[in-house]
Amino acid sequence: DAEITQSPRHKITETGRQVTLACHQTWNHNNMFWYRQDLGHGLRLIHYSYGVQDTNKGEVSDGYSVSRSNTEDLPLTLESAASSQTSVYFCATAPGLADNEQFFGPGTRLTVL
Amino acid sequence: KNQVEQSPQSLIILEGKNCTLQCNYTVSPFSNLRWYKQDTGRGPVSLTIMTFSENTKSNGRYTATLDADTKQSSLHITASQLSDSASYICVVTVNNAGNMLTFGGGTRLMVKP
């Protein structure tokens, strides 16, 4: 069955370290998204991609970067982790602009000390 | 600014009882509205989708309604079960915005035996 996997599922890191969260999908979807979820906020869009070599900034992109070298993967990098980036991160995919149901991965809980 | 507001923030009901969750939105232009269910420690999963012209949509014991004039939606859960304990998120898609979603903050439902 097609799926979205995220790794690691839990991560603890220190302020200032670079951290990369992985997202891998076997849906063969063109569109991929990264969100963060915090108490008191709805999911907020960090970065998104509509295909290989395409990346775009979302609502809360400062301090984050992504790259899309193939269809299956969209890794999210925190260049220099800050305590404000402690959150649960979700990757999502969608098959195309017209089909806008997004399918979510299981999430990564990141704690920055 | 596009916004989605949900109420109540949290709700506790007894198993077997019904409940209704509310969603108000100011997203424009509107494409569709989905209700997602998010179990603890999991990613959101779509329950229902309604376009501008649809007033109601059912999925088992879940019934969603939409009033596009007042920009309100509700999710009614009938004969609640323990497995209904989750967060329910109202999500509105902005028309012609490339799969962009606006998320509500969610209602956390707890069903007690």
What's the distance, CA B42 to chain centroid?
17
Preceding amide of B29 cis, omega within 30: yes
Residues of A in contact with B31 (CB under 8 A): 100
> Which residue blocks in A5-52 are alpha helix, DSSP H?
none
Residue (of A28, A25, A31, A43) closest to A98 by Cα position: A31
Which among A42, A90, A107 is the nearest to B104, CB-wise? A42
Which among A31, A43, A105 is the nearest to B103, CB-wise? A43
Q: Tell me the sheet residues that pair with B77.
A: B19, B62
What's B39's DSSP letter? -
Which of B4, B46, B99 has the highest number of chain A CBs within 10 A, making it the mutation to test binding with A? B99
Question: Is the pLDDT confidence value at A15 over 90?
Answer: yes
Residues of A in contact with B104 (CB under 8 A): 42
A4 to chain B nearest CA, in Å?
A: 10
Averaged confidence pLDDT in chain B? 92
Which among B41, B49, B89 is the nearest to A101, CB-wise? B49
CB contact under 8 A, B103 and A92: no
Q: How far apart are the first and last CA of chain A?
A: 37
Residues of A in contact with B46 (CB under 8 A): 101
Residue (of A87, A89, A91) closest to A103 by Cα position: A91
Give the model confidence (pLDDT) of A18-55 as tens digits.
Answer: 999 999 999 999 999 999 999 878 899 999 999 999 99
Sign of CA dihedral B40, A101, B103, A67: positive
CB contact under 8 A, B43 and A44: no
Q: What is the mean pLDDT of residues B86-96?
A: 89
Give the model confidence (pLDDT) of A53-109 as tens digits.
Answer: 999 999 999 999 999 999 999 999 999 999 999 999 999 999 876 657 899 999 999
Q: Is B101 on the interface with A (CB under 8 A)?
A: yes
Q: Is B62 on the interface with A (CB under 8 A)?
A: no
Question: Is the pLDDT confidence value at B1 over 90?
Answer: no
